[in-house]
Structures are given as C-alpha cells and as structure tokens.
Chain A
Amino acid sequence: MNEGLRERLGEMLEQVSGFIYPNEIEIHWSILIVVYPYLTGLVAGAFILASLVKVFNAEDVRPTYRLSLLTALAFLLIAPLPLQFHLAQPLRAYEIFLTPNLTSDMAMFGFVYAWYLMGVLLLELWFEYRRDLVVWARQEAFPMSFIHRALSLFSTDTSEPALAFDRKAIKVITVIGIPSAFLLHGYVGFIFGSVKANPWWGSVLMPIVFLMSAIVSGIALVMFLYMILTPLRGEPIDMRCLDKLASYLFYAVIVDFSLEALDFIHRLYQSEESIHILGTLIANKLFMSLFVIQILLGMLLPVAIMVAVKSFSLSAELRKLLYFTAIILIQLGIFATRWNVVIGGQLFSKSFRGLTTYKMEVVGIEGLITALVLLALPFVVLLILLKVLPPWRKAEA
C-alpha cells in the first residue's frame, strides 16, 4: 500500500472525534470535487447573464454579452478536468459515455455536457461571430485569415437575410440555452441532493441553491473580467453597464441567500435525527468556512456594500472600487459554499456519531496545486479565446 496514503489515514485516525464507521476515515471527494461545481457554476452563471441580453433585451449589459459567452466556453472546456483527475481509474472514463448506467444521475454527465457544449454554447457563439469571422478573414493575412475562415466553417454569406437568420438562430438557441444552463448546474446539484444516505446533501432544494449560487458567481466573474479587461484595453468602463450588472448581482445574492436560509431554517425546524451531528459539524468543523467566509464575507458584506452604493450617490471611481471588493468577496463566498457542501458533507459519519477531518494534499494529483492550476486554466483558455475571437472588435463590412 502507498506509504503516503497510509501515513495520511493514520494521522486522520488521530483526528476523529466520536465514532465513525471505519471505512469513513478516507475522504473520497477531495478539493477537485469542490473545484468542479465551482467551475460549472461559473459557466451556467455567465451564460445566463449573456441570455439576459438576448432574451430579455437587457441593453445596458450588452457590452458584456460576448465576453460572457466566451467566459462560459473557457470554463466549460476545463470543467470536466477535475472530474477526470479525480477518478481512481482515469483511463476508464470513456465508459461513462459508451455504456452509461441509465439509473445513475452521474452517468448523465456526458449527455448534459455534450448537449450544453455543442447544442448550445458553440452554436450560439458561431451564429454570433459568423459575420465578423467572414469579414475578418477577408481583411487579414495568413494564418489568422485561415483560422477565422475555418472557425466560420468556410461560410461566406454576409447578406442581410443571412444575418437576419443568424439573429433569429441566436434568439432560439438562447431560449433553449437557459433551461440547458439550468440543467447543467441543476444536475450538479442533483448529484449531491439525491444522496439519501447523507443528510447534509440530501435536499430537494440542492439543485436550486446550486443554480442561484451559480448565477451569483457567474455575474460576479463577468463583472470582474469586464473591470480588468476594459482598462487594459485603454477603454473607459461603461458605468451604466456596471451598475446594471451590480444590480442583477444584488438581486441574485438576495435570492440565493433566502434559499439557503430557507434550507437552514427548514432543517432546524424539522429537527430530524441528523440535526445534532449537523449542528456539531457547523459549529466545530465549518465555522470558519460557513459562518465567516460564506455568510459574513461572501454574502452579508457584499450585500451591505451594494446597498450602500444604491443608497448614496457615490462617485464612479468609488463605486468601481466597492464593486470590485464585493465581487472578490462573492467569489470567495461561492467557493466556500462549494467547499462546505462537498467537504462538509464528508466530515461527519453516517452513523451520526462522530466527525472526521479533511487533510488536503498539497502536491498530489488531488492536491492543492492541481486545484489551483485547474482554477487558473480557464483564464488561460479565455485569453486564447479573446485573441482569436475578440469580443469588442466589431468587423467593419
């Protein structure tokens, strides 16, 4: 047996308080499984923000439309990696696509992912960029001309009826895309919410809570990117757009907070068998990550900031600073939310009699460094996407 594992489990044995089933000493879903719902949440959130522009004609946030789509794509491309790295038999991953067990919610991953990537996101991006790709390809030199021509799938038509069709297609795809984004992240919530063995996870609200927190994190991420990228390009930040984004964010956080509060109160009031161990869990093991980071820093403080911005007429510079602080805190809070669900759900015994500890590896395949790399990778992908498909460059016909 692997010496490192033996040592780690031996140390954890010392950390157990109360009684746990002996097989529960190993925490099976590591930080990579925290990263996975965090990434897919950002995908779903960014896409839903983009949809607001197309479906609900939210003109104020139009400057972030293409950026949102590209962000969703960049994060979606990386989202399966933490799962892949987490598998104990990574070379057998293909089995989930070839011979899925139809009673398994996890087996739906391949279908949900493929549908969202190819049926929604790539299709919408193609219709959105098609005209620009055609025009860019005509104006540019090799190799960019070829890349853009290939990305346009060698289409050449920029006539008005063709463009009208593009617009119509985008609208249809977006309408299909919203439930698809809900499906993508709701599905991730369902993976946890459907586990009846685990009272911390098993809740019908889980998919909805996941979804709302996804919208929160997605909007916050696009705001973050918009606030970083626009000054880098030497352009002024459109304050109307930023205020509107902050406003959406504010309402999303309120709904998210209410749902989580409902879940919490419901558990407390129902006071089932598991309530004692869950109480001990949040008081002992999750105090910092739940009360301090998720609720206080990740929700209440950003809400207070946004209330302050709404209440007083502050200068644009000060607003930017406050928004920036709020969105960083929100990202931290949402990451803590994922942590509290995934890791928190494994820190108590299903005998409801004891708690264990998660000792994170640093360098291993399921360690901190891998997690950080996986969190950074989508930004690298996004950088490439921004180079190839600049969202702010409208082609002159």
Chain B
Amino acid sequence: MDQDKRDLLKGLILFIPAGGVIGALAKAVAAPAAAAGKEASARPETPGYDPTNHYYGMGIEVGKCIGCNRCVEACKQENDVPREPFFFRTWVERYVIKKDRSVVVETVGLKKEKRKEVVDQEDTLRSFFIPKLCNHCANPPCVQVCPVDATWSTEDGAVLVDKNRCIGCRYCIQACPYGARYLHPETRTADKCTFCYHRVVKGLLPACVEVCPTQARIFGDLKSQASRLVRFERMNKIHVLKPDLNTQPKVYYSGLDGEVR
C-alpha cells in the first residue's frame, strides 16, 4: 500500500468517529436549549405551580353525556381549532345499537342534515354518546415515534406538541390509535388536545369540562385524594379505550359499552 492510500484510510478512520462525536456534541448543545424551550412551554410562568405535585387525567361518565356538542364548540374557540369539520381536539360520537345488533356510529354535528334525523325508537336496542379526546397516554406511541422530540409527556401527565419544533412528518398521527391528532392547516404542524394546559396550570378547568352542562366530563389530579377524578375512580367501574394496545390512557370512562372503539 502506498503512502497516499494509507493516509487516506487513516483520514477515513478518524473522520467517521469524528462525525459521531460532532453529532453527539451538536445534540449535547442543542438538548439543553430544546429542554429549556420545552420547559418554557411546559411550565408557563405561573407563580406557585409545581408540575411534580400533579398528575392529570379525565373521567367521562358516559350515561351523563347528552351529545349537545358544547364541549367541542368550547374547545374550538379556546384553542383556535379550525372551524371546518375535519379538525377536532375533542368530539362526540353517537352510537345506536339496533335490535338486529348492527351498530351505527356518527360524529355529532359532522353532517348537519343528519342531526335532524330522529333515531327510530322501534328499531333501537340502546343508544348513547361518547365524548372523545386525546387520552394523554402514560405510554404514548405518538411520543415514541416523533423523530425530533416535538411531542412529549409532561411531568404532570399531559402529552403536548411543540409547534415550533414539529417538522410535519405526521408519523404521530399514524401512530395514534384514537385518531386524536390532526395536522393544523395554519401552523402545518401536528395538533391535539392539551387538557387546556394553559388553563390547568392556572388552576382552571379545561374548556370542555367547564362548559359541560351535565358534568359528564370530570377533570382532576390523580395525585390528590381530594380530587373529583379520584372520587370518580372510587365510585365507578371504569374502563379505557383499546387497553390491549398498552398505551395506558388517562381518560377513564364509566359505563363504557363494549361496542366503543
């Protein structure tokens, strides 16, 4: 082997690990910056708020939901969700199980003309409404797959998206088993329910919970024995959506029908 080639190979041997080192350095430099950015959005400057003291979840009392859709309206208004019927942070599904055991499901308010249809009572075995939202899973597949760490779990149990970081690859949307995410047409980034994090850190309730006329939605802190959510958990037999996927949802349903997915 001549000197040229030996030098080249030496160079290569040095160059390849050097690339790794530079990458690691870039990560080390960028990571605190990113973490700082996240902290800024995850912990708005709310005096006296310590996320380590909380762990949020939501309860849904299925029997109480009347399908009025106020939660959806309130959410759209509170969180700048586009008005078009293709983007939802929360929505309500109406289930009608007929006497022949066939199931008809629709999203409340999606097709205006359909809302006027009165379900044929003769034909109906049972019927109910199911409010849906991001389950803020404890083992969230969306967080796992995000290639740039733009979505993450906060210490107090919310799954959030950093719209300044999201690259819009939409892998999280594919990975969510609940259809809870969409691509916001204005920001061109992934968007979803935040449990109204900006309100919660100020001690307020999420908008959907605030407006619900029947108190079908119960928001609370799983770390506080005095919270309404813990009481809800104590008083009801509860279930979560798609438990077999091991996403460990933190939206708990009481009176959930086996037909709901």
Give me the interface of A with B, judged by CB distance under 8 Å.
1-2, 5-6, 9, 13, 18-26, 28-29, 83, 86-90, 92-93, 95-101, 103-107, 109, 114, 119, 153, 155-157, 159, 161-162, 165, 191, 194-198, 346, 349-353
Contact = CB atoms under 8 A, between A and B. Distances in A.
Contacts, number: 165
Interface stretch (B56-64, B139-147, B200-208, B210-218): B139-147
Nearest to B163: A89
Contacts of A194: 145
A2 B185 CA distance: 7
User: Which of A18, A89, A109, A350 has most B Cβ within 10 Å?
Assistant: A89
Interface stretch (B40-48, B103-111, B116-124): B103-111
User: Which of B34, B143, B174, B245 has most A Cβ within 10 Å?
Assistant: B174
A96 B167 contact: yes
Contacts of A353: 103, 105, 261
A271 to B, nearest CB: 15
A79 B30 CA distance: 28
B179 interface: yes
26 contacts: A18-B105, A21-B107, A22-B107, A24-B179, A26-B183, A87-B167, A88-B170, A89-B166, A89-B189, A92-B148, A92-B166, A95-B167, A100-B27, A100-B147, A107-B147, A107-B148, A114-B19, A155-B8, A159-B2, A195-B145, A196-B141, A196-B177, A197-B245, A198-B174, A351-B261, A353-B261
Interface residues of B, number: 61
A21 to B, nearest CB: 3
Contact of A119 (B16, B86, B175, B245): B16
Nearest to B259: A353
A319 B141 CA distance: 51
A1 B141 contact: no
Contacts of B149: 99, 101
Given A99-B149, A155-B8, A196-B245, A21 B170 contact: no
B173 interface: yes
Interface of B: 1-2, 4-5, 8, 16, 19, 23, 26-27, 30-31, 34, 82, 84-88, 91, 93, 103-107, 110-111, 132, 141, 143-149, 165-171, 173-183, 185-186, 188-189, 245, 261
- Tell me the dominant secondary structure on chain A's binding face: loop
Nearest to A5: B185
A106 B145 contact: yes
A23 B5 contact: no
Contacts of A86: 169
A159 B3 CA distance: 13
A155 B5 contact: yes
Contacts of B5: 155, 157, 162, 165
